[in-house]
Structure 1
Amino acid sequence: MQVLHAVDDPEIPKLLERNEFFWLKLHGCSSEQIAEMGHKFGLHPLAIEDTQEFGQRPKLDDYDTAALLVFYGVDPDGTPVEVHFHVSGGWMITVHQEGHEIFKYAESRIGKEPPKTEEEAIYRVLDALTDSFFPVLDRVDDRIDELMDGMLLKPSQDQREELFRLRRRLIELRRIATPQRDILARGGDVLGRLPGLEADDARDWFRDVYDHLVRISELIDSYRDLLSGALDLYLSTVSNRLNAISKQLTVVATIFLPLTFVTGFFGQNFGTLTRHTNTPWAFWGYGVGGMLLAAVVLLWYFRRAGFLSDD
């Protein structure tokens, strides 16, 4: 099986004449090139129009002799990669604007182990796009664990912002993974009706892709639940730290309350006070001693009542 990379490749007419299945992998094509490709392969005008416009939802359109599948993979950084996949019994065409790294594994595998059937060749490309979700989701899982461990030690605003970023990323992945799962649930039957493709083989190969998409959807939902739990943990930890700080400030304020009373009382300009606090013993006993005694009594009381514990 040959992999071609240009619409005007001279091998295309020869392969079509020999009815030999091939993969035309187009990257960054202009609207004119897509129109030329559509006319050369006899694609439906609506299929050509859809291929010229990116930013579409995942879908599978059947045009009798060929089908258009809008399918998504994911770049290593988590960016969705939209691929327009034209399939027939004699060829398959992929059109994408970015994320060509995703196809490297499928292309190298096809070069080393040529697929035995057309259905297997189509499956390998779809499988490569589907499996690109797993490394991204694994990194999200590891990052959630790291954030939760960090929040138990010292919660910060940056951690909360990253939780929201991860949540938005999972929502974006869910918007493409769930429709693709639903499409592949019936995709084997649709593609199996195309001339040159066997219905039974198509169902068998695409069932594996469907199973992977089901697993991806379940992982995304479980990680969303983990993020909700992580956010609750963050709020709970912050609240507990705020309560601990409030408790400490309350203890300090309560200790200083009698001290303020003592200094205010002895600071009054009454003759009785001034005549009886004119010796060092009176100063240290009544003044400083009274404040120390009040502080010691309050500390003893707080410790006994459990106000100074971390619980």
Structure 2
Amino acid sequence: MTSDATGRSFASRSIDTRSTLTPDQAEAVLGLLAEAARVDGQQPVSEQGRLQLRGEAREGVSHLLLTAGGELVGYAQLEDTDPVEAPAAELVVHPAHRGHGHGRALGSALLAASGKRLRVWAHGGHSAARHLAQVLGLTMFRELRQMRRSLTDLELPEPKLPDGVTVRPFVPGQDDEAWLAVNAAAFAHHPEQGSLTQRDLDDRKAAVWFDPAGFFLAEREGRLVGFHWTKVHAEEGLGEVYVLGVAPGAQGGGLGNALTLTGLRHLAAQGMPTAMLYVDADNKAAVSVYERLGFVTHETDLMYRTET
């Protein structure tokens, strides 16, 4: 959520809610997101949200296009796919059009569309987003940290895998079903990651950054028991601990630490000067593990929600 909220009216403003975007609309939204990212220093919409801009309609996903004077100046995405949690949203206003109440208009439209049962991400937790959340009557309940550490002049120890565990690269098409099952089990508590589908996996495999050589699978007796999917952000010089998961029955034996080291060593070998990852602040065990590995908090994303 990137905006301010002055509450001022804007006579020519209109909001169009759609289940899918035309290619031209998707390009216009991506252009808006790119400009917001340039000005704000971070993406205003998550990777999943950006992937959902293209292609056929996705069940439970709505796109809100805010235009003023015939120009696209704001965008919001609402996803209502979780059977338990309130619908989740992200929104952004073009940097050149902030201060006219567009953020408040989008937020009000999201509240109406969700039946006033809403969760909204504020990437970076900027003061303007916090103010907008307050104006909309939302309270903060989740903190997602981006942590980073240097990979230069770093001696990472050899990973010590548990007995009987081997590690190999992911094979597209061959490992999809098994990975989706273990991912769902490992992230059963995590609504975004744990609900990934084959279509979501296919979207990521089609991305320019996808490299199966950096997607590590841990197996024991032919069964997938954990994984570390890394991601390279070449332009930013960042290597990401993209997704790290251990099957519930294999947790507690040091596999997570070994997989973390496997991925970090791979990213260092790719010449990435810095590693990054995302972790929920209330996941004290994971935060502690990453801090022991030298990671420190770089920035924070906040999620706000209506009172329940």
Compute the TM-score of the two structures, normalised by the length of structure 1: 0.24
Compute the TM-score of the two structures, normalised by the length of structure 2: 0.24
State which structure, 1 or 2, has the greater radius of gyration over its C-alpha atoms.
1
- Quick check: which one's strand share is greater? 2
- Quick check: which one's helix share is greater? 1
